[in-house]
Amino acid sequence: MKFRALLTSTREGIQGIIRHPLVTLASFTTILLMLLLMSVFLLFSANARYITKRVAQQPPIEVYMKLESTQAERDVVISYLDQNNQWIIEYEQRTPEQNYLWFRENLGESASILDNFDYMTYLPYTFHIRLIDPSYADEFGMNMRAIPGVNKVLIESRVMDFLSMTGRWVNIGTFVAFSVLLLIAMFIISNMVRISVYSRSAEISIMKFVGATSGYIRLPYIIEGLFVGMVSAVGAWAIAYFTYQQVFDIMMANVNATSFYALLPIQSLSHWVMIMCLVTGMLIGGLGSAVSVRKYVKV
Amino acid sequence: MIRFEDVYKTYKTGTDALRGVSFKIEDGDFVFIIGKSGSGKSTIMKLITREERPTKGYVLVDRFPISKMHNALVPVLRRQIGMIFQDFRLIESKSVFENVAFAGEIVGMSPKKLSQMVGIVLSIVGLSHKANAMPLELSGGEQQRIAIARAMINDPKLIVADEPTGNLDPQTSESIMALLEQINRNGTTVIVCTHDSNLVDRMKKRVIEVDNGIIVRDECASGYCATPPPEDKISIIQAVSKPSFPNGEDERPAVKLEDI
């Protein structure tokens, strides 16, 4: 297609938007609402995943060695942890003395009762491990228990299961909402094109008779769809950005930014929201128009 | 050249529109296709413009075998045909100039050439002074002249007119037919579909009469067939403007899919 023809189609596409302001407004509003909902889901799921991850990582897996465990057995545990570092954020080995000091510290003013405690006899070596993903916990615990010298492995499995399940449901919810909204948007775009094609039927029939190609006839509608999708995307992003900023300011007013429950700042998410809105909006607008116009305009 | 060989057309509804139609129209002919409503004359027009495909038989328009040509070549065929309709089919929201230019824009004519060509075709139909008017400000005859100008903008080899005088008074009809005759005299093949027998009688041109899907009269044999124009005859547009190929070379490339 020649550049001049592309320019003409772009002009026609923009004229189509102006010519049917109510139809354009309807499709713009629908795509905007859809993208806004998607942005809310994206922001929500990003925060849910972020919080889930941080909370899940907090209660570490605790591995208790047998009291009589040898240095060789502890080395096997260390070696296992080093070999599987793709699952692990960090781990720490605590000696009986460190565990003793930790107990004392937790007892505060009552720490004196442990003054004569023979920690080398009664306290084991322990490993405190933080996993990348709580869903690995069960398999990881099973492998650890199989290592000689390991007495028991404590996993906060219920918490981890819940967090893992929440994450999964958030993902499923996002996907379902996205699919339903996508179908609604496609339906409305299809109607937008149908109305637009109907109102320009005389023009289209003339175009066919003077030898316009299918591409030439269809392109203005695709450009119209792309443009509506793009404007809707920018609108949805702007609303999501400023609304989230307000919510963030209110919710984080009394929360420390390093807290487990701190929200992600909008600056770290806004570019993802923008990319998602633009790609989805233009895809829905352009593709929806292309599919519909193919159905209604045949040379 | 247009050739119909034993052409049948049955629509999806089961209506037999054409039943074994055969005729040949040479380059430069002026032909009337007449018949009652539902006789099949519009189907013949639709086959020529490839709005429809024949159910059986062979249709050739210029170098295009209508029955088996690729869909992608349809626009290429239609760029060589100027179409005129009873209801003019002008775009009401566009000015006279824009309506005529529209057909040239579609084929990618440069703005400079387009402006020049619109000026030429409007002067041929005698409406240069109405270039900025809107279609609804014009009379029926003027609107049809604009439609003729639009049909001529791409300098077609063939003009197909479907009831071009159907909405016009007798005097205006005469002037429209005179214009078409003038275009034909310069080498463009003209096919007019009409039921106005008085007009047909006065014009003394070849008449193909269709009734119930078959040809019942073809006056080619009666001496009304036009003599093909001489090889060096140039179209009315080339006559008015400077010919781009003074040596008579054909500007049009051979039909190829990659051309579109």
Gap between the Cα atoms of B254 and A260, Å rounded? 73
A81 and A13, same domain (yes or no) = no
Q: Which two tokens stand for residue A94?
A: 């605590």
A133 and A96, same domain (yes or no) = yes
Record: contact B150-A210, CB cut-off 8 A: yes
- Confirm if B46 and B84 have CB atoms less than 8 A apart: no
Considering only CB atoms, B89 lies closest to which of A202, A212, A216, namely A202
Record: contact B49-A209, CB cut-off 8 A: yes
Closest to A127 (Cα-Cα) out of A158, A156, A154? A154
A47 and A67, same domain (yes or no) = no
State whether residue A298 is helix, strand or coil.
Answer: coil
Point out the domain boundary residue: A108, A128, A155: A155
A86 and A212, same domain (yes or no) = no
Contact status of A94 with chain B (Cβ, < 8 Å)? no
Q: Which residue has the tokens 């006899």?
A: A121
Gap between the Cα atoms of A223 and A218, Å rounded? 9
Contact status of A208 with chain B (Cβ, < 8 Å)? yes
Residues of B in Cβ contact (< 8 Å) with A9:
none
CA distance B67 to chain A (A): 16
Considering only CB atoms, A4 lies closest to which of B49, B108, B150, namely B108
CA distance A2 to chain B (A): 7
pLDDT greater at residue A42 or residue B33 = B33
- Confirm if A285 and A189 have CB atoms less than 8 A apart: yes
Give the chain B residue whose CA is nearest to the CA of A9: B106
- Confirm if B7 and B209 have CB atoms less than 8 A apart: no
Residues of B in Cβ contact (< 8 Å) with A209:
49, 78, 83, 89
pLDDT in tens, chain A (299 residues): 567 677 777 887 787 778 778 778 888 888 898 888 888 888 887 887 787 777 665 656 889 999 999 999 999 999 999 988 888 888 889 999 998 888 888 777 777 888 888 888 889 999 988 888 777 788 888 888 999 999 998 886 556 667 667 777 877 877 887 788 778 777 877 777 777 777 777 778 888 888 888 888 888 888 888 998 999 999 999 999 999 999 998 888 877 776 666 788 888 889 999 999 999 899 888 888 888 777 766 65
Record: contact A206-B72, CB cut-off 8 A: no
**Global pTM value:** 0.63
CA distance A17 to chain B (A): 15
CA atoms within a 13 Å half-sphere pointing along the CA-CB vector of A49: 14
Residues of A in Cβ contact (< 8 Å) with B108:
2, 4-5
- What's the pLDDT score for residue A43? 87
Query: Position A53: which residue type?
Result: K
Considering only CB atoms, A206 lies closest to which of B49, B74, B89, namely B89
Q: Which two tokens stand for residue A126?
A: 């322990």
Q: What is each CA distance from B42 to A34, B134, B153, in whole angstroms?
A: 48, 29, 24
A96 and A198, same domain (yes or no) = no
Q: At what angle do helices B96-106 and B111-124 cross, to 10 degrees?
A: 130
Record: contact B107-A202, CB cut-off 8 A: no
Determine which of A112-121, B169-178, B242-251 has the lowest per-residue pLDDT on average: B242-251
* pLDDT averaged over every residue in chain B: 84
- Provide the CATH number for the domain around residue A128: 3.30.70.3040
Considering only CB atoms, B78 lies closest to which of A5, A202, A211, namely A211
CA distance A21 to chain B (A): 16
- Confirm if B64 and B50 have CB atoms less than 8 A apart: yes
- What's the pLDDT score for residue A16? 74
Q: What is each CA distance from B178 to A60, A256, B124, B184, in whole angstroms?
A: 97, 90, 12, 10
Considering only CB atoms, A211 lies closest to which of B71, B107, B111, namely B107
Please give the backbone phi and psi of residue A124, each rounded to the nearest 5 degrees, phi first. Answer: -90, 175
Closest to B166 (Cα-Cα) out of B137, B135, B199, B202? B199
Gap between the Cα atoms of B192 and B175, Å rounded? 14
A72 and A207, same domain (yes or no) = no
A97 and A125, same domain (yes or no) = yes
- Sign (positive/negative) of CA torsion A164, A166, A167, A173? positive
Residue B251: band (very low, low, confident or very high) from pLDDT cuts 50, 70, 90: very low
- Confirm if B122 and B149 have CB atoms less than 8 A apart: yes
Gap between the Cα atoms of B14 and B18, Å rounded? 12
A114 and A244, same domain (yes or no) = no
- What's the pLDDT score for residue B253? 43
A138 and A176, same domain (yes or no) = no
pLDDT digits (tens, 9 = 90+) for B83-129: 998 888 898 888 999 999 988 888 878 889 999 999 999 998 999 99
Point out the domain boundary residue: A117, A138, A155: A155
A169 and A258, same domain (yes or no) = yes
A192 and A270, same domain (yes or no) = yes
Give the chain B residue whose CA is nearest to the CA of A216: B106
Gap between the Cα atoms of A23 and A192, Å rounded? 6
Point out the domain boundary residue: A123, A138, A155: A155
Range of the domain at A31: 2-55+160-296
Count interface pairs A-B at CB distance under 8 A: 52
Record: contact A4-B83, CB cut-off 8 A: no
Contact status of A209 with chain B (Cβ, < 8 Å)? yes
Indicate the number of domains in chain A: 2
Residue B240: band (very low, low, confident or very high) from pLDDT cuts 50, 70, 90: low
CB neighbour burial string for A48-69, b if at least 16 within 10 angstroms, e if fewer = bbbbbbebbbebbbebbbeeeb
- What's the pLDDT score for residue A44? 82
Record: contact A210-B78, CB cut-off 8 A: yes
Gap between the Cα atoms of B106 and B101, Å rounded? 9
pLDDT greater at residue B222 or residue A13 = A13
Gap between the Cα atoms of B183 and B202, Å rounded? 18
CA atoms within a 13 Å half-sphere pointing along the CA-CB vector of B155: 21
Chain A residues 163-202 with a CB less than 8 Å from chain B: 202
A165 and A126, same domain (yes or no) = no
CA angle at residue B66 from B219 to A200, to 5 degrees? 105
For residue B195, the 8-state DSSP code is -
